[in-house]
Structure formats: structure tokens, C-alpha cells
Chains A and B, each alone.
Chain A
């Protein structure tokens, strides 16, 4: 659990982060969104003390983050940034081994960890371990950057626009991978982005920042249903509202008993995908199947449209 308690950062009298308090639950993905200059990067950099707070405190599992030297704190918290920040003079394996090395792990344990992570990120250890970062594609570099951040098995992973430099197709893949990794390790992830689609796709909770303040902090659906300020409304976008609601709900939740013709849809797909299927195939209902492929009834166009309507 990360408790952010009335944290403020001022640079020469300019307040960048203004009295922010929030609690981040363990094993969740929290996405901080906002325009550039809203203070979102400064906020997460205060968690691992790359930026020292002017006022307030941050506690990790109840322990003040100033109770140890900054570099020791940072070795316990994963950190991944846009453009990956890999060390160009070190191989992929050496890059990933950095933090375990700093922590003084034994050679054999480090090697095992590097191999585990490379395998997990679908990079063949024998092939990719000895390569240098410039020999990898953008998507591979980004994966190595995240693998490096996770090497010392941190409870918390901070990510500053980690997918900002990737093209859309690789970005979608990277987001899926991140969710899978998060489930695998149970890591608490705090991620900064200005991409609302990314935020809705990844977040358990979204914190919207505007001019240094957190103006709303809650589950994605709440932001759509009850935007706290006009700024949040603008950020979500009038035209996007119904689709955002559908994008965060599973098709399974809208399923009802009954029959339908044609290609079925899996229950874990979003309702937005179900809607797209319905429109594209010109049908009124789709058969729904479970993850294992057994029938779960159907989902109708009406049911989906109702769920996309403004909540009363």
C-alpha cells in the first residue's frame, strides 16, 4: 500500500504538486493522467524520491519513504521510463542484472533471474542476453526496460509514460504484456500517461491531475458516470463517453440466457468489442462463450446500448 499524505512540491515558489493525498491499494494498477505540466511525473518521482517533497509524507506499507537513503529506497522500487533508458554500453543481460548486482545478489541467483525475466518477456535468453540495446527493436528495448525494473522483485513499479515511444500495434501488445506480468507478480503499478485510452485499458483506478491537484481519483467507470470537474469531462471527451463505459466492462456481464446465430464472442472481451461485432456483422445478438469455449447464452444489441447509456 502506498499512502500519499498531503504531499506538496514547490520549485522557487511555483507549486507543481499541490497538497495531494491518495491511497494506492496493493496489487492494483493506478494510472495518473493529466495534461503536460499537471505535475503527474513529479508526483510519481516523489514516491521513489527522485524528487524530494517540499511538504507532506509518503508511506510505503506504513513506512515513511524518508527512513532510508534515497538510493536504497529506489533499489526496492521498480522504475521504467519513456525511451526505456537502457545503458547502451551494457548487454541486455547486464542491463537487467543491474539492480540485483547493486543489491549484492549471488551470481547464480542473478543469472537465473535474468533468464526467467527474458523468457517471461518472450525474449530468448541465449539470443537476446548477449546483445546490446541498439541491436533490438523499439518494442524489445521497452520490454527489456520493464524487465530491468522488475529484476529485484519490487512490490511497487513506477512507470513514466513507458509506452510513449512505441507505435500503436506494439503499444497494444506491450499493454497486454504488462497486465499479464502484473497478475503474475502481483506488483503494485503506478503509471503516468496522457493517453486516456491507455488509462482506461490498464487502470484499476485513475487519478486525474490538473494544475498540481488530483481533481478526481476513482475507478474508470466513476470518472465517466460522475466527472468531478469540467476538466475531467473534457479529458474523457463527450463523444467517447458511452464507448469508454463499454470498453471497461466484460461481455460476460451483459450476457443473458438465449440463443444467437453466427460467430461467438468470448466473455472476457470488452462490451465495446461486442458492440463493434454486432454493428459490423449486422446481427441483433451474439452467442457468448466462456474462456473454455462452453456456451454462456447471448448478448443483445439492446442490452449493450442500455449499458452505454448515461447512468441515472
Chain B
């Protein structure tokens, strides 16, 4: 049998070679804000661990490079990712001089490149395995549990990002709660308002263009400008509507952030509801009416189920968009992971920025996987058959 190379595997191998041999693995800084000194892989780790890591990475790269079963590729990717994450924690303990509480160790470019390369390998293997939606969610849960265990075990405690965390553990979880509350709450409100609005736009054709164009216009306002624009009206409401201030409505803080995210979420929800309903086959709709369904029965039994995958797609877009955009809420005192990002930028402490950015990306990624699975479960009918 001829040995065959995998095209993506070649890219992964090149990345792995560059990340492992040329780029540096970890950076040692005398304190949290100064420039540090980058160290290569073998300098960052005790000899046994360094060579062990290299061994695992070489094997995983080989699995990526040649055409083999996706299961082997997935296994190789998981092994490489596990070795990398354990090693970077180990590097932190190894590089930090004993008793020095100011020194900080962070992952350097080589680590990130290797992480990216093998995450790519894992994603490619999973795509080729084409697991059913429930299985993908299971993969996500296993990955989350693994990362959780890693964090709990304390093997990363020497890393700079974890040192930033340990000083702010209470605040971190409060801000995490606010972040999720902002992203999910505004999405929930947008679905609550957007779905009926979309249905109304579908049924009343003259409304459609007006509503969609207005929402389009809102979408083009930069988020910071929108926060600014909302200060005056919300401030007025807080001052003049009894009880408004008591439930937290103010010109700055959570309220304008919530309203802005809500407004940005409306367009995808309304537009996809309209598109989804318009995509319901005419004949199915006519038949539904012809065999005696009432308007509501038609909406809930025929139109809505058929439009659901398109509407869920909008919800996925909005959720991922909101999780990212909620970061900016910190600018006007809205809280969320953005607090760490902006503090970090203010203090030029990049590891603090990461403490805000990494959970945001992880959260967005996890919600995308879950919603993609949901969408697939709800669209048993292939797109090609929809017009039948």
C-alpha cells in the first residue's frame, strides 16, 4: 500500500514544526507588567518532561500527516492537547525561581501555535467522523469536564493567568454571572419580542420593509455610540418613572448594555423569522388551510416547525454575537468579562486581558456547538426536500 499524505495534515505538521522548534514555548517575566524572556520548549521543562512532550507531539504530527482513521487522528489530537496543557503548567512551576512571588510565567507564541494546530486536527477529525448532534454535545461536555479537572487540580496554578484569577476569584464569578445574564437575558428578550414581530411582518407584508430597514439601521450604529445614545433616555426614565430606578434602570451600568444588546439581537431574530416563514412550501400551507386548520393551528403545527431551523440559526448567531459584544458593556459599568479586559489594558497586564478574553471565547464556542446540535436535531428534513 502506498503511503498517502493528508493535505490538512501537511499544514498541521508545518505549524507543529514551527511552533515546536522555532517559536518559544513559555515566557518568564520578573513581574506581571514588564517584558519577559522567552524560553524554548526544552529550556522551559525538566529534561524528561521536555523530551516526553516532544515524543507525544511527534507521534501526533505523524498521525496528522498520513491518511489514517479519523479516530486515530482524534486520539492523537487529544493526546497532544493534553500533553501541551499539562506541560505549560509544569513549565510555570519549573521556570519560576523558588520563593519568588513576583515572577510570572505565561504561554508564549509556540504554545499557542501548537495548541491551534492540534485543535485544528481535533476539529477536522470530528468533522470527518460526522457524529450525531448528541455525540457532539457529549464531546463538548467531556472537554469541559477535562478542562475543569485540570483547573481544579491546581497544575496550572503557577501560570500567570491563574495568578491573576486567584487574586480575583470572587469578582471573576460575579462578572461571569453578569456576562451570561447580559448575553442570555438580552437574547431571551429579543426572542420574546422578535418572534411575534417576525410573524407579524410575515403576515402583514406592508410592515416588513419598514421594520427590517429600521432594525438594519440600528445594527449599523457602533456599539459604543449606542451606549452613549441610550444614556439620556434611560437616565430620564430612571428619574421620572416611579420604580424604574429601583429595578436597576440607570443611564449607565447594566441597563443600557442590556438594551443595546437587545436591539442588536432583534434584526437577526426578526429577519430569520420572516425568511423561515417565507420558506414554508406554498402547497403545504394551502393544504393545511384546505383540510381545515385554523390560523393558529397552521402557525404552530406547520409554519413554525418548518421555520424553526432558520430561527434557531438566528438564535445561534445572536447568542455568539452577544457573548462577544457583552465584553464592551464593561466600558459603561455593565460588568461582565470585559471588566478584566479593560483593567488589563489599563495596567498593560496582558494576562489579565486573557482572563477576560479566554472565558468569553470558550463560552461563545460552547454555545455555538450546543445550538448547532439543536438546529440539526430540529431539521430532519433535508433542505433539498423542503420545496417538494
Residues of A within 8 A of B (CB): 48, 50, 71-76, 78-79, 81-89, 98-99, 102, 132-134, 141, 145, 148-149, 158
Contact call B292/A88, Cβ cutoff below 8 A: no
| Partner pick for B388 among A78, A88, A158, CB 8 A cutoff | A88
Instruction: For the complex, give the distance between the alpha carbons of A89 and B388 in Å.
Output: 11
**B284 at the A interface (CB under 8 A):** yes
Contact call B281/A88, Cβ cutoff below 8 A: yes
Instruction: For the complex, give the distance between the alpha carbons of A76 and B292 in Å.
Output: 8
List of B residues within 8 angstroms of A98 by Cβ: 291, 293
| Partner pick for A102 among B286, B293, B305, CB 8 A cutoff | B293
List of A residues within 8 angstroms of B299 by Cβ: none
Minimum CB–CB distance for B9 against chain A, Å: 37
Contact call A134/B382, Cβ cutoff below 8 A: yes
Instruction: Please name 18 pairs of A and B residues whose Cβ atoms are closer than 8 Å in the assembled complex, sorted by A.
Output: A50-B289, A50-B290, A72-B292, A74-B291, A78-B291, A79-B290, A81-B287, A84-B283, A85-B283, A85-B288, A87-B302, A88-B281, A88-B306, A89-B305, A89-B306, A102-B291, A148-B287, A148-B291
List of B residues within 8 angstroms of A79 by Cβ: 287, 290-291
Interface size of B in residues (CB-CB distance below 8 Å): 24
Q: A87-B284, A133-B388 are in contact. List 17 more A-B contacts (CB 8 A).
A: A74-B292, A75-B291, A78-B291, A84-B287, A85-B283, A85-B285, A85-B286, A85-B290, A87-B287, A88-B386, A98-B291, A99-B291, A102-B291, A133-B385, A134-B382, A134-B384, A134-B388
Contact call A132/B292, Cβ cutoff below 8 A: no
List of B residues within 8 angstroms of A132 by Cβ: 380-381, 385
Minimum CB–CB distance for B124 against chain A, Å: 31
Instruction: For the complex, give the distance between the alpha carbons of A43 and B233 in Å.
Output: 57
Chain B 356-388 interface 0/1 with A at a Cβ cutoff of 8 Å (1 = within): 000000000000000000000000111011101
* Max chain B Cβ within 10 angstroms of own Cβ: one of A72, A82, A102: A102
- Name the CB-closest residue of A to B288: A87
Contact call A89/B293, Cβ cutoff below 8 A: no
**B297 at the A interface (CB under 8 A):** yes
Instruction: For the complex, give the distance between the alpha carbons of A102 and B296 in Å.
Output: 13
Contact call A74/B385, Cβ cutoff below 8 A: no
Instruction: For the complex, give the distance between the alpha carbons of A248 and B388 in Å.
Output: 35
Instruction: For the complex, give the distance between the alpha carbons of A267 and B285 in Å.
Output: 45
Minimum CB–CB distance for A206 against chain B, Å: 23
**B101 at the A interface (CB under 8 A):** no
Instruction: For the complex, give the distance between the alpha carbons of A82 and B282 in Å.
Output: 11
Instruction: For the complex, give the distance between the alpha carbons of A307 and B283 in Å.
Output: 44
